[in-house]
Amino acid sequence: MSTPAANASGRAPRADLRRRVLAGESTIGAWASLGSLASSEVLARAGFDWVVVDLEHGAATEADLYAQLLAVQSTPTGALVRVQSAERMRVGRALDTGADGLMIPRLETVAEVAETVSWMRYPPAGIRGLALSTRGAGMGAYAHDTVAAEINPRLTGVFQIESPLAVANAAAMAAIDGVDVLFVGPADLSHAMGIPGRFDEPSFIAALDTVVAAARAHGKGAGILLKDGATIPAYRDRGFTFIGVGSDTGWVTAGAKAQLAVAKTAMAG
């Protein structure tokens, strides 16, 4: 597969995201959780490498997905979709709508991950259903004999590590072609470990190191969602390269509260 050139803005094009991840490049992303196409476009235009349209915990539904993908993909930012759950039709619909890749939550075993990867790829590499007219297949831009070779290598597969069993299976998961990122969900993992929100616990740090080592051993990216960009150095130094730094919901909430506090102080003065 040829490597796309950077566009006029100097940013790498979204079609290059998977290559960058597997090359070990660091990328920074954000969550689009408000279900707003305008907010999704704002995030993309801010310059993030990728934006996750969150169908698991966000306000958007599958009916909103088409517009949000168009909004993000009007820029070089990669548009990933976190599906509600690992089901063949949810995976297939998100890809047919045109996602550049998927984030898959709540899987714990190698068999589950391998099956989900098969749903993401056209035959012979997988069993994804084929319809050449879909947006994800280029709306007729590819022929039957070229669509798999063109589309399969572009899709970024991000698989969440959210339980002790998933941590234990991380190395075997990372060995699967199509698992491009092992992505720690800190909140879910800490709750599953019985140490909710205690991200400095030695056992939690050990779990992070296990995931990073598994990803590195197989040339895959290690990802994590952080509270904000200021916390990146500690996780970068541990080996994380695919890092989310917050969400539109969080930033709107924080900004609104901050401005209200400033306004109340000004009024009181």
pLDDT digits 0-9 by tens, 197-245? 999 999 999 999 999 999 999 999 999 999 889 999 999 999 999 999 9
User: Which amino acid does the sequence have at 51?
Assistant: V
Q: Is the pLDDT of residue 163 over 50?
A: yes
The structure tokens 């709508």 sit at: 97
- d(CA 7, CA 138) in angstroms, rounded, equals 20
Q: Is the pLDDT of residue 8 over 50?
A: yes
The mean pLDDT of 55-81, rounded to a whole number, is: 97
The CATH code of the domain that includes 166 is: 3.20.20.60
- 129 in a domain, yes or no? yes
The structure tokens 């779990």 sit at: 207
Marked catalytic residue, from 57, 144, 191, 218 = 57
Closest C-alpha among 247, 261, 182 to residue 29 = 247
Rounded to 5 degrees, φ, ψ at 217 are -60, -25
**Residue 189 CB partners (closer than 8 Å, separation 6+):** 161, 162, 163, 166, 167, 204, 207
**Residue 148 CB partners (closer than 8 Å, separation 6+):** 121, 122, 123, 124, 125
Length of the chain: 269
- 21 in a domain, yes or no? yes
Q: Is the pLDDT of residue 1 over 90?
A: no
What domain range includes position 72?
14-268
Number of domains in the chain: 1
Q: Do residues 25 and 47 lie in contact, with contact meaning Cβ atoms separated by under 8 Å?
A: no
pLDDT of residue 3: 45
Closest C-alpha among 216, 190, 183 to residue 204 = 190
Rounded to 5 degrees, φ, ψ at 112 are -60, -45
Task: Supply the pTM of this predicted model.
Answer: 0.94
- d(CA 193, CA 93) in angstroms, rounded, equals 33
- 6 in a domain, yes or no? no
Question: How many CA atoms does the CB half-sphere of 211 hold within 13 Å?
Answer: 35
What confidence tier does 77 reach under pLDDT thresholds 50, 70, 90? very high
pLDDT tens, position by position, 88-138: 999 999 999 999 999 999 999 999 999 999 999 999 999 999 999 999 999
**What percent of the chain is modeled with pLDDT above 70?**
96
- 251 in a domain, yes or no? yes
Catalytic residue status for 144: no
Q: At 147, which helix (H) or strand (E)?
A: helix 147-151
